[in-house]
Structures are given as C-alpha cells and as structure tokens.
Amino acid sequence: MESNLKFNEITSIIIGSAMKIHNYFGTGFSEKIYQRSLIEELSRQGLKCSTEVEKKIFYDNVWVGNKRLDLIVENVVLVELKVITELNKFCYNQVINYLKVFGLEVGLLINFGRESLEFKRLVNYRKSSKSFLNR
C-alpha cells in the first residue's frame, strides 16, 4: 500500500483492524497480545508498522529520559493502545504530548479493555516551538 495514503484512510484501516481483533478476542488479554495482533492485521492490509519506536526526551537541552511508542503506522499515524476500563483525560493528554514529542500530526488512542472497542482520533494542530528532542 502506498505510504502517501491520507490520514483518514490510514486511521480507518487501523480502526477497522482493531475492531476485527476486538471481535475475535474480546476483552481480557494483555496489551502486548492486542499490539502483536494489530501489527499482523495491518501488515495483511499492506500497511507498514514500526513498533517500540524510542526517542530521547530533552528539557532545556538536557536529556531527561526516553519515551517508547506502541506503534507508528506508515510513519505518520501514532497508535497508543490501552487495556483499561475507561479512557480519561490523562490518556488523551498522553497522546497529544507524544504527537508533539515525535513530531507527528495524527494519533489514535485505542482501548481494548471494554465490551465495545473504544477509540479516539487526536490531532496535533499546533507545532510546538519547544524542543523536546535533540534534533
């Protein structure tokens, strides 16, 4: 599949794949099981996935730690997976911060921890002028 797919097309494929996996497994498995299944399904759909992508995080040009992402699809869509009873504001803020830190525009927050799959598409509308990464 072409890597220049529009965000909506990519996120639709990701959400559809997550729904297929959720219908297959239901709830009760670890995040890693859902992650590996999603990678497999997205690969079958022709999408390129990068897992456990890690970046160094800097505060005022001083390294303060690393952050590892669950999944980046087609190098443009961040996917954060959860297996919790309810998504909350912290989860949303976490994805927005990851988008800023990794310089991405679109992210999906997907929760496999409920009876019905829960997902939220988040957009980083403003590019941060702060340097979180050593560029």
Percent of the chain with pLDDT over 90: 73
Secondary structure (3-state) at 18: helix
The token duo for 95 is: 């994805």
Q: For position 129, what pLDDT does the model report? A: 38
Q: What is the pTM of this model?
A: 0.86
Give 104-117 pLDDT, tens digit per residue.
999 999 999 999 99
Cβ of 42: how many Cβ atoms within 10 Å? 22
CB distance 11 to 108 below 8 Å: yes
68, with CB counted inside 10 A (0-12, 13-18, 19+), is exposed
Q: Which CATH number fits domain 7-123: 1.10.10, 3.30.390, 2.60.40, 3.40.1350?
A: 3.40.1350
Give 41-73 pLDDT, tens digit per residue.
999 999 999 998 888 888 899 999 998 898 999
The residue assigned the tokens 């559809």 is 16
Domain boundaries, the chain: 7-123
